[in-house]
Amino acid sequence: MKRDTPPPLLRKLVIGAAWYGVAPLRFALLAVARGGRRGGPEVGAERSVTFLLSSAWGMGGTIRAVLNLAGYLAAHDYDVQVITAYRRRDTPFFGEFPTGVAVIALDDQRAERNGGAAASPAAEALRRIPSVLLHPADRLSRTASLWSDVRLVGLLRARHGHLIGTRPALNLFVSAMASSRFIAVGQEHMHLSAHGPALRRAIRRRYRRLDCVAVLTQADMRDYRTLLRGRGHVVCIPNAVVGGFGARSANLAAPTVIAAGRLEPQKGFDLLVAAFADVVRTHPDWRLKIYGAGTQRHELALEIGRLGLERSISLEGPTEHLEHEMAQASIFALSSRYEGFPLTLLEAMSTGLAVAAFDCPTGPRDVITDGVNGLLVPAADVDALAAALRRLIEEPELRKRCAEAAREATRRYRLEAIGRQWDRVLRELPGR
Does 356 lie in the same domain as 214? Answer: no
pLDDT at 19 exceeding the cut of 50: no
Nearest residue to 317 (alpha-carbon basis) of 384, 382, 390, 262: 262
pLDDT score at 216: 95
| pLDDT-based confidence at residue 2 (cuts at 50, 70, 90) | very low
Does 296 lie in the same domain as 234? Answer: no
Q: Which position has the higher pLDDT, 430 or 36?
A: 430
Beta-carbon neighbour count of residue 151 at 10 Å?
23
DSSP code of residue 19: G
- Write the DSSP assignment of 369-421 as a string of letters: -BTTTBEEEETT-HHHHHHHHHHHHH-HHHHHHHHHHHHHHTGGGBHHHHHHH
* Alpha carbons 366 and 236: distance in angstroms, whole number: 12
Does 218 lie in the same domain as 271? Answer: no
**pTM reported for the whole predicted model:** 0.85
Does 426 lie in the same domain as 381? Answer: no
pLDDT score at 344: 93
Does 343 lie in the same domain as 211? Answer: no
In DSSP terms, which residues pair with 81 in a beta bridge?
A: 50, 102
Contact 57, 84 (CB under 8 A): yes
CATH code of the domain in which 59 resides: 3.40.50.2000
Q: Does 38 fall in a domain?
A: no
- Rounded to the nearest integer, the mean pLDDT of the chain is 90
Q: What is the pLDDT of residues 82-133, one digit of tens each?
A: 999 999 999 999 889 999 999 999 999 887 665 555 567 878 888 989 999 9
Q: Which position has the higher pLDDT, 54 or 59?
A: 54
Does 293 lie in the same domain as 374? Answer: yes
| pLDDT-based confidence at residue 251 (cuts at 50, 70, 90) | low
Contact 279, 393 (CB under 8 A): yes
Domain housing 97: 8-32+43-240+415-431
pLDDT score at 39: 47
| pLDDT-based confidence at residue 11 (cuts at 50, 70, 90) | low
pLDDT at 386 exceeding the cut of 70: yes
Q: Does 245 fall in a domain?
A: no
Does 335 lie in the same domain as 186? Answer: no
Does 78 lie in the same domain as 14? Answer: yes
Burial 408-419 (b: 16+ CB within 10 A, else e): ebbeebbbeebb
* Alpha carbons 397 and 99: distance in angstroms, whole number: 42
Does 106 lie in the same domain as 17? Answer: yes
Q: Does 427 fall in a domain?
A: yes
* Alpha carbons 295 and 299: distance in angstroms, whole number: 8
* Alpha carbons 258 and 288: distance in angstroms, whole number: 6
pLDDT at 76 exceeding the cut of 80: yes
Cα Rg of the chain (Å, integer) = 23
Q: Does 142 fall in a domain?
A: yes
Number of domains in the chain: 2
| Average pLDDT for 157-170 | 96
Range with the lowest mean pLDDT among 169-173, 414-418, 427-431?
427-431
| 2 CB-contact burial (10 Å; exposed 0-12 / middle 13-18 / buried 19+) | exposed
* Alpha carbons 201 and 137: distance in angstroms, whole number: 11
pLDDT at 14 exceeding the cut of 60: no
* Alpha carbons 168 and 188: distance in angstroms, whole number: 7
Does 196 lie in the same domain as 112? Answer: yes
Does 263 lie in the same domain as 120? Answer: no
Q: Does 161 fall in a domain?
A: yes
Query: Which amino acid is it at 77?
Result: D
Q: Does 189 fall in a domain?
A: yes
Q: Does 246 fall in a domain?
A: no
Residue 187: in which H helix or E strand, if any?
strand 182-187
Contact 67, 245 (CB under 8 A): no
Residue 314: in which H helix or E strand, if any?
strand 313-315
- pLDDT above 90 covers what percent of the chain? 74
Range with the lowest mean pLDDT among 32-46, 150-164, 279-293, 364-378?
32-46
* Alpha carbons 355 and 352: distance in angstroms, whole number: 9
* Alpha carbons 258 and 315: distance in angstroms, whole number: 10
| Average pLDDT for 169-185 | 94
Q: Which position has the higher pLDDT, 46 or 39?
A: 46
Q: What is the pLDDT of residues 188-241, one digit of tens each?
A: 999 898 899 999 999 999 999 999 999 999 999 999 999 999 898 999 999 998
Does 213 lie in the same domain as 293? Answer: no
Residue 105: in which H helix or E strand, if any?
strand 101-108
pLDDT at 300 exceeding the cut of 50: yes
Nearest residue to 330 (alpha-carbon basis) of 289, 370, 371: 289
* Alpha carbons 120 and 250: distance in angstroms, whole number: 52
Q: Which position has the higher pLDDT, 407 or 11?
A: 407
Q: Does 262 fall in a domain?
A: yes
| pLDDT-based confidence at residue 3 (cuts at 50, 70, 90) | very low
| Average pLDDT for 346-355 | 94
